[in-house]
Amino acid sequence: MRSTVPGPEAIGGRLARRPIAPPGRALTWLWRPRGFAERRLAFLALIALPALLYVLLVAVWPIAQGVYYSFFDYNLLRPAARSFAGLDNYRAIWEDETNRRAVLNTLVFTAAAVGLELLFGLALALLLWPDGRFNRVATALMLVPITITPLAVGLLFRALLNADFGLIGYWARVAGISGPHGFLGDPASALGALVLIDAWEWTPLMALILLAGLKTLPQELIEAAEVDGATYLQRLRLVALPMMLPSIFLALVLRGMDAFRVFDIVFATTKGGPNDATTVLMIQAVKQGLEFFDIGAAAAIANLMIVAIAVMALVFTRLIRHADQKVAAG
């Protein structure tokens, strides 16, 4: 049966006969669109222009400036003494022991926090999978930690974990669970404590993303596996988890990018100490930029972080696409 809806060619033909007004008289001397395709392109470019300008202004331009300044010895307190420094600011990241430790701590923190959140998040999502009033209420309550600003979370845990009069810290020290200086005062436990604080706040988000993934699974497949005699663990391992991979990778990339630029809870609790145990890249970048006003050094650290996050995003995006294709292929 022939469709009565006109095809794109037909629309194009009609529109071609009624030319679209040029985007602006001033622009016509630069480029006068000819034909439908060019006029269409001009129209689309025109409506996308505000968003494009916005992105250029607030994202691309500052990043470009950041890349530019990272090659300069540029301190805002001595702006006149700006000089080209080549790769010195990048070299300084690797030559400085504290910066090297910050790179390592950032990687360890990101891997540990996101890994833990995935584990707990998946467990929570599986618990909340069956639909019911209790689970709906529990899901809503579970989201409370996400609503608290990370700086407040840091201050809250700083008070709770105080080894001398904190509600948790005092008893943990007395019971010998923490070291003599408390969880945050001991270099061996401080980063671990920060990982747990981060997991407390962000596991619910992970659980929510994974729960959304679980809810979209075709129920008939799970039921078919059940009829075939698959145990709960087998259904989970062989049916649910492979189909959930896109959701898992999405959760990992979102949390991974966020955890990599952790700042608030470190700033509010340990300021990077004790010793260099919790110094992370963002603490170093803020210190260079907003305490010493050394824009060149701060920009170099920030650029390193952008590259790391971009690589992370690229890898996970490909993994998500690959997993999506596998799921679609059945």
Partnered with residue 294 across adjacent β-strands are 75
Q: Which CB, 4 or 83, lies closer to other proteins?
A: 83
At its nearest, how many Å lie between other proteins and the CB of residue 294? Answer: 9
User: How big is the chain by its Cα radius of gyration, in Å?
Assistant: 27
Q: Which CB, 183 or 316, lies closer to other proteins?
A: 183
Backbone angles phi and psi of 83, in degrees to 5: -145, 155
Residue 23: cis peptide before it, omega within 30 degrees of 0: no
The token pair that represents 139 in the structure block: 């899901």
DSSP for 207-237, written as a single string: HHHHHHHHHTS-HHHHHHHHHTT--HHHIII
Q: Which CB, 23 or 273, lies closer to other proteins?
A: 273
At its nearest, how many Å lie between other proteins and the CB of residue 293? Answer: 6
At its nearest, how many Å lie between other proteins and the CB of residue 157? Answer: 12
Partnered with residue 83 across adjacent β-strands are 73
Q: Which CB, 234 or 275, lies closer to other proteins?
A: 275
Q: Which CB, 226 or 264, lies closer to other proteins?
A: 264
At its nearest, how many Å lie between other proteins and the CB of residue 283? Answer: 10
Going 269 to 271 to 277 to 278, the CA torsion angle's sign is: positive
At its nearest, how many Å lie between other proteins and the CB of residue 70? Answer: 18
The token pair that represents 250 in the structure block: 């999405």
Name the 3-class secondary structure at 83. Answer: strand
Q: Which CB, 255 or 287, lies closer to other proteins?
A: 287
Asked if 299 contacts 82 with a C-beta cutoff of 8 angstroms, the reply is no
The token pair that represents 320 in the structure block: 């998500």
Under the rule (CB under 8 A), what is the footprint of other proteins? 76-79, 98, 162-166, 169, 173, 180-182, 184-187, 270-277, 287, 290-293
Q: Which CB, 51 or 81, lies closer to other proteins?
A: 81
Tell me how crowded residue 30 is: count the other CB atoms within 10 A of its CB. 7
Calpha distance 238→241 (Å, rounded): 7
At its nearest, how many Å lie between other proteins and the CB of residue 42? Answer: 38
Burial (0-12, 13-18, 19+ Cβ within 10 Å), 133: exposed
At its nearest, how many Å lie between other proteins and the CB of residue 286? Answer: 9
